[in-house]
Amino acid sequence: MAGRFYTFANRSVCQFTALGFAVLYRKAFCPQKVSSEIRHVVALTIGFGLCYFCFGYQISHLLLQSTLSYLIMNYVSPHIMHRPLMITTQKVISLAFSLHDGLCQSEEKMTSEQRRRAVRHIPTVLDFFSYIFHFQALMCGPLVFYNDYIEGKGYVKNFSPTVVVVRKLVVSIFCALFLITIVPFSPITYLQDPKFQNYTPWYTKLLYLLRATSVVRSKYYHAWLLGNLKHFM
């Protein structure tokens, strides 16, 4: 009880202190008075100080995370950052929250959803990498929670998937054909065209915006449905 109160008090002090610093920052370090470099240094110094006050030596976690991210941004080509990386990021984040709930939270403090998703032991190497790289959802999802993957939750045993698979496959193929035949006539890139932006009436802009953003979604429906199919096989 005392630990939770201490954590709450710590963060509340930081939040109110940050509010006071925000007023000072706006008044004394506005863009009209100082350079952007000084503003960055001040924001970094205050943020680092508040973070250390609140978390102590655990600030090393944030430093490590941000440093690794910065190194990746600088030394890894953005051309190799493909969609599967985004899917695996979702998996790692969801597993991290589930582990926190399962190992750190008490039952009475968790919601029913947290209890359902909680992971109560560290995954084995095989379980973890199988979850990250299983072929059914590697390329474009959908995201599957760790418990659902390991324990098979949400699936009916002895269930014949034929009807569901055929229905989803037909819709996916329809979306692919729609993508090939219809989408090229409503390119979303036309929204950036200066002629469209400067000389098109607002109501025509609105109608085209609705049309372009509606039809372009077919590629996501196609990919998600096709990816979801593999979970029924």
Q: What is the pLDDT of residue 210?
A: 92
Segment 69-87, tens digit of pLDDT:
788 767 877 666 666 677 8
Q: Are 63 and 48 in contact (CB under 8 A)?
A: no
CB-based contacts of 189, cutoff 8 Å, min separation 6: none
Report d(CA 38, CA 25) in Å as an integer.
11
Lowest mean pLDDT: which of 16-30, 89-103, 137-151?
A: 137-151
**And the tokens for 127?**
């379980």
pLDDT over 80 at 229, yes or no: no
Q: How confident is the model at residue 10 (pLDDT cuts 50, 70, 90)?
A: confident
What's the pTM value of the predicted model, to 2 decimals?
Answer: 0.56
Q: Are 64 and 46 in contact (CB under 8 A)?
A: no
Q: What is the pLDDT of residue 25?
A: 86
For the chain, domain boundaries = 1-59, 76-156, 161-231
